[in-house]
Structure 1
Amino acid sequence: MAYREIRKDGDDVLRKKSRPVDVIDNKIFTLLDDMADTMYKADGVGLAAPQVGILKRVVVIDVGNGLFEMINPVILEQSGQQDGIEGCLSIPGTSGDVVRPMHVKAKYTDRNGETVIIEAEELFARAICHELDHLDGILYKDKAHKMYTPKEIEEMQK
């Protein structure tokens, strides 16, 4: 298990566009493993490589239905709409309302080099969109139509 430092808002790497992964090798395996360990330790549901300072198109997601390791992910289709509260490990202590698709169809390469196509709904669809935004230097606060202070978050949780 290796934990990596999660980059915080204001770090330039979070605003840069990630490069595609050309070769899936031991470096990518280590990155995937470290990202999953880091995400779980931080109680997150997703983590993108730029959040640990690596500008590669790699994300890990687990919204409660198992770990998805996505290399070079792309959204093929999206439909519907959901408006909900999001947070981010790179922007601790804040949340915001963000409109996302209710359903997405995505394609990615797994750690074995296999192409995978998945369909996701609700929270899983939201997480895919959120993490793929990170790969293009976009943070959820850029899309939020309302941001919440830590005090407002605490009140909502009561």
Structure 2
Amino acid sequence: MDRKATAVWKGNIQNGKGELTTESGALRNTPYTFNTRFGSELGTNPEELIGAAHAGCFTMALSGALMKKGFTADRLETSAVVTVQKEGEGFTITSSKLKLIAEVPDIDSKTFQTIAEEAKSGCPVSKLLKANITLDVEFRSSQRGASATT
């Protein structure tokens, strides 16, 4: 199973602007800029989307893990705070902090905590944050129509 998202950026980092689109159509030309990422301008940013993905993935993984053990949650609400810090000349994501509020009948706290920790470790987005990342580049120069692929 592959899922696709596309980012288009025009201009320099501080004054330029970009759009994010997902294959499913959930995001369609959704704007993002320097100020939506590092300021408080309305729009989205990559770290916010990683937080949403992590919270959503973990919550689904937990629901599945509970089901395998014979439990069904009345409600699982997870938030994720993704922290970005300056590192040298650039920035790095240093953490994703999940916070869970759970309502699950007929389960003791110790059993629930064990299942939740396993879901956190097994969630594909948790694994992604430690993943090998590859890059395939096709470069097209806007000068005199030259192009090259690397």
Structure 1 length-normalised TM: 0.23
Indicate the structure whose relative CO is greater, using CA pairs within 8 Å and at least 6 residues apart.
1
